[in-house]
Amino acid sequence: MAEEELVDIDCMLQHVGNFGRFQLILMLLFSTINAFSAFHYFGQTFISVVPDYHCDVRNYDLNVTVPYKCHVSVSQDEVECSTGWVFLKNNTYGFVGIIEELEWVCDNAWKPALGQSVFFIGSVIGSLTLGVLADFIGRLHVLVIANMLAFFGNMATILSSDITIFALSRFAAGCATDTNFVMMYIIVMEYIKPSLRTLGSEPMHRLVLLPLLYGSALVPHLSVLGFYFLVPESAQWLISKGRTEDAIQCFRRIAKINKRTVNDKIVESLRKYCEVHVSSKQTNESFLGLLKTPKLRRKTIILVFKSMVLTLCYDAISRNVNGLGYSPFVVFTATSSTILPACLFILAVQDKAGRKALASGSLLLSGVFTTGSGVIQAFMQNPEPILIITLAVIARLGINVAYNSGAQYAVELIPTVVRGQGVSAIHVAGYAASFFSPQILYLSNIWKPSPEVILGVLLVLGAIACLFLPETLNRTLPVTLKDGEEFGEDEGIFEFACCRAPTESMAALNPRQDS
Instruction: Return d(Cα 503, Cα 168) in angstroms, integer.
Output: 54
Residue 471 contacts residue 412 (beta carbons within 8 Å): no
Contact 402, 349 (CB under 8 A): no
The four Cα atoms 352, 355, 358, 364 give a dihedral, to 10 degrees, of: -160
The model carries a pTM of 0.69
Q: What is the mean pLDDT of the chain?
A: 80
Task: Report the range out of 317-331, 403-417, 480-494, 497-511 with the highest average pLDDT.
Answer: 480-494
- The mean per-residue pLDDT over the stretch 243-256 comes to 93
Contacts of 500 (CB under 8 A, 6+ apart): none
CB contact at 8 A, 467 and 360:
yes
For residue 140, give Cα distances in angstroms to 26, 40, 78, 266: 13, 19, 59, 26
Return d(Cα 321, Cα 323) in angstroms, integer: 7
Q: What pLDDT shows up at residue 212?
A: 46
Is the pLDDT at 213 greater than 50? The verdict is: no
Return d(Cα 397, Cα 395) in angstroms, integer: 5
Taking only the tens place, the pLDDT of each residue in 276-310 is: 766 544 445 667 888 888 999 999 999 999 999 99
pLDDT at 207: 41
The distance from CA 285 to its chain's CA centroid, rounded to whole angstroms, is 27
Q: Under DSSP, is residue 321 helix (H, G, I), strand (E, B) or coil?
A: coil
Q: What pLDDT score was predicted for residue 514?
A: 41
In tens, the pLDDT along 346-364 reads 888 887 888 899 999 999 9
Residues 69-93, mean pLDDT to the nearest whole number: 76
Amino acid, res. 123: S
- pLDDT for position 43: 75
Bridge partner list, 53: 87
Residue 210 has a pLDDT of 40
Question: Which pLDDT score, from 0 to 100, does residue 198 have?
Answer: 53
pLDDT at 62: 57
Contact 197, 189 (CB under 8 A): yes
What share of the chain in percent tops pLDDT 70? 82
Sorting pLDDT into bands at 50, 70 and 90, what band is 502?
very low
Predicted local distance difference test score (pLDDT) of residue 426:
84
Query: Is it the case that residue 509 has pLDDT exceeding 50?
Result: no
Half-sphere exposure of 296 (CA within 13 A, CB side): 22
**DSSP states along 407-419:** HHHHHHHS-GGGH
Tens digit of each residue's pLDDT (9 = 90 or more) over 115-172: 888 988 898 888 878 877 887 788 899 899 999 999 999 889 888 889 999 999 999 9
The CA-CA-CA angle for residues 224, 230, 233, to 5°, reads 90
Contact 221, 40 (CB under 8 A): yes
- The secondary structure of 467-504, three-state, reads CCCCCCCCCCCCCCHHHHHHCCCCCCCCCCHHHCCCCC
Cβ count near 345 (within 10 Å):
18
Bigger pLDDT: 501 vs 338 = 338
Give domain limits for the chain.
53-108, 283-515
Instruction: Report the pLDDT value the prediction gives residue 495, as an integer from 0 to 100.
Output: 82
- Identify the band that residue 328 occupies on the pLDDT scale cut at 50, 70 and 90: confident
Pick 283-515's CATH classification: 3.10.310.40, 1.20.1250.20, 2.60.40.10, 3.30.70.270: 1.20.1250.20
Residue, of 432 and 416, whose pLDDT is higher: 432
Residue 511 has what pLDDT? Answer: 38
Confidence category of residue 197, pLDDT binned at 50, 70, 90: low
- The residues, ordered by sequence, that sit 6+ positions from 410 with a Cβ below 8 Å of its Cβ are 303, 307, 422, 423, 426, 427
Q: Are 257 and 21 in contact (CB under 8 A)?
A: yes
* Long-range Cβ pairs for the range 52-56 (8 Å, 24+): 52/87, 52/88, 52/90, 52/91, 53/85, 53/86, 53/87, 53/88, 53/100, 53/105, 54/85, 54/86, 54/88, 55/81, 55/83, 55/84, 55/85, 55/86, 56/81, 56/83, 56/84, 56/85, 56/86
Q: Quick one: which of 104, 32, 83, 94 has its CA closest to 327?
A: 94
507 contacts: CB under 8 Å, gap ≥ 6: 476
